[in-house]
Chains A and B, each alone.
Chain A
Amino acid sequence: EVQLVESGGGLVQPGQSLRLSCAASGLTFSSYWMCWVRQGPGKGLAWVALINADGTSTYYADSVKGRFTISRDNAKDTLYLQMNNVRAEDMGVYYCARDFAWGRSDYWGQGAPVIVSS
């Protein structure tokens, strides 16, 4: 059974940093692209970032480019999202998902809440 478990969410002050993790099991993690998707309070889904299987290529939404970094450790079957210079509009639930192919996100984690407040 494929499982994706996010961690690292919590309260962060504007301008500060936070790192989310997503531990994967039940799949050959190193074979798949992975992504982060977020959902602001009462809002729709917003795609955040994407990384290829070996971590050499990354893609970002314009809203987070230059502030967020997606990375992975295939030896640890773990995906990361480093969030720097966090803003109020970054608040929400962050989901990691497997991007099986061309956006086909077939497995999702339960989500990690990020609260931005001073």
Chain B
Amino acid sequence: DIVMTQTPLSLPVTPGQPASISCRSSQSLLHSDGKTYLHWFLQKPGQPPQLVIYEVSNRFSGVPDRFSGSGSGTDFTLKISRVEAEDVGVYYCMQGLEAPRTFGGGTEVEIK
């Protein structure tokens, strides 16, 4: 199975400041079709997960443009350019290249 590793575990951020989360996979997530199947989810307190970024860098419908994703192969980053209070929660990366799908352990973003 592909192992997904996220850092940091916790990320206190001052509103208006940037935030960055890293995700590393144990093998390349690049498919032969040229796409890389790495997605980012946010789980706000008391809510189900919601898709934020799909295929490394594509914002899902309704996601503010302060969110961006980058990376390739085995190393990926989710960035929030200016954190807002509504961005708090746990962020998870997930690989969709193979079944079983696997999630990273999560990064909790909190407001300082």
Which residues does A use to contact B, with CB under 8 Å? 35, 37, 44-47, 50, 59-62, 95, 97, 99, 101-106, 108-111
Contact = CB atoms under 8 A, between A and B. Distances in A.
Given A50-B101, A102-B96, A103-B95, A109 B48 contact: yes
Contacts of A59: 99-100
A50 B101 CA distance: 9
In the complex, which range does the number of interface residues on chain B fall in?
20 to 34
B51 to A, nearest CB: 5
Contacts of A105: 39, 41, 49, 51, 94
Given A95-B48, A105-B49, A45 B103 contact: yes
A45 B49 contact: yes
Nearest to B101: A47
Contacts, number: 67
Chain B, interface SS category: loop
Interface in B56-81: 60
Interface of B: 1, 31, 35, 37, 39, 41, 43, 48-51, 54-55, 60, 90, 92, 94-97, 99-106
B96 A45 contact: no
Contacts of A102: 31, 35, 37, 55, 96-97
